[in-house]
A and B are shown apart, each in its own frame.
Chain A
């Protein structure tokens, strides 16, 4: 295979990549009262640099109130054999506005610039979709899960964009009986895609009404797709074990059928796999206990807002956004995870209100792991309206970013004492940081086909 496209030939090759020295993370003003655009912050994390652990540039989007959230590259290891492609542009959607910002990170990686905006109004008009979430490159094309129709009703669908960032249309041929959308990941060698469920944009965007879970306004199913036919073929009803299944992660190994999803409200990890007869199964493998709180009438659920797998598929990391801990599990046997590490930062249980001299408002939320598995970066804001409900002080304190050092041999985690980025001290006022990516790809950006 010609080795001149983006990314790496395999997960094993990706693990040998040079250490990441720049981080890109979303920072938002939506919902804060500060009338400034959301932006992509570039952070220097080269310990040898004079600006180590600082925001070194800010690429603002044109609008106000977009709510930048998740993002993805224009190209990844799925086009490793295509020398015409390069990992140059981040696609950064606004969940509320549906605008998709194409940010050029390749021309000057330390100072990304806005290249193009796909107008949310155009997306709504051409596809009847809104509320973009997960971005995955797929060979030279890009698909984005869209959580609503143009009026914010579920289930939405999938937006298909070509490599010139033009709208092709809808990617899926059918949504079947799917009620809600959220995250997705695919494993082409098994002709499978798995999608999860949050809620309709009109339900989750204004904030979280717990009562709406009981009224079936939030998801509790995951969906297995025939990837080539672009239509769902099987649904797993997870029930009370799988309330609000969010982040979907397959093993990085493209030959594996094992995958995982974190059920946020149930605070469980669900594992699925295909048996030798070709039948798919699921099971609950991790159950985070609710914790008592002196001021709460009921115990506090963990609210697993994210999960992530190391590039060698050995460790699973999860965040309990309300409890305030990040956990590391050895999933060498995916049916029997072993709890190997834990750190605390922020959260409602009061176990670590201040870390590295910064008051942590919010809890561990989005995480990103270095390709070699040794450095885990964590941010604290979940979603503007939900932040405002559970951690109202985040308006004045802003979010923060920390680094966790991970022991990849024996398991274990500890907070790095040299690295902290306090988004409470941003020039335009306290902002909130969310998803992080690196110029060379990371542990949630690349899929091998």
Chain B
């Protein structure tokens, strides 16, 4: 089992099965979370990973900038370590941007179309 700590729920902690998606584990323990598609495609359940590591290869919603900002898609993500999360729309401060005012660099696109960052 892994421990999930929620910073914006007064540091509440939950023990979760690392084989199950975090959304299901937290929902089963009474944590009310937004979600939509439940296959990692729609971003509604995005949360911010403050500490620890998750496996979320199935997600297709996040671009590389959002990943770099620590976002995880709870309906498909599974914890690899004990983790600390900020959940709900309070964690969405960096999730949405005006695409005309704040364009993505080529390496910040979604994984299937991103090009490696030139160093």
Contact = CB atoms under 8 A, between A and B. Distances in A.
Interface of A: 30-33, 35, 64-67, 96-98, 130, 150-152, 201-202, 205-212, 215, 217, 295-298, 300, 384-385, 388-390, 392, 395
B60 A65 contact: no
18 contacts: A31-B44, A35-B33, A67-B36, A97-B37, A150-B39, A202-B41, A205-B36, A205-B37, A205-B61, A207-B96, A208-B99, A210-B100, A211-B99, A212-B109, A295-B101, A297-B100, A297-B101, A390-B98
B104 interface: yes
B88 A210 contact: no
Given A97-B36, A212-B109, A296 B101 contact: yes
Given A206-B43, A206-B62, A298 B36 contact: no
Contacts of A65: 34-36, 44-45
Contacts of A217: 113
Contacts of B98: 389-390
> Which 8 pairs, one residue from A and one from B, show the smallest C-beta to C-beta distance?
A96-B36, A33-B89, A206-B43, A152-B41, A205-B42, A210-B99, A206-B61, A202-B41
Contacts of A206: 41-43, 61-63
Nearest to A208: B99
A217 B60 CA distance: 13
Given A31-B89, A35-B32, A217-B113, 17 more contacts: A30-B34, A33-B34, A33-B88, A33-B89, A35-B33, A35-B34, A97-B36, A130-B37, A152-B37, A201-B37, A205-B41, A211-B106, A212-B110, A212-B113, A215-B113, A385-B43, A388-B92
A298 B100 CA distance: 8
Contacts of B36: 30, 65-67, 96-97, 205
Q: Chain A CB within 10 Å — which of B36, B110, B113 has the most?
A: B36
Interface residues of B, number: 34
A157 B117 CA distance: 37
Contacts of B95: 207, 388
Given A202-B61, A389-B97, A389-B99, A96 B42 contact: yes
Nearest to A386: B96
B118 interface: no
Interface string B74-92: 0000000000000011101
A385 B89 CA distance: 11
Contacts of A67: 36, 44
Contacts of A64: 34-35
B116 interface: no
A209 B62 contact: no
Given A65-B34, A205-B41, A32 B99 contact: no
Contacts of B34: 30-31, 33, 35, 64-65
Given A35-B32, A152-B60, A205 B113 contact: no
A211 B109 contact: yes
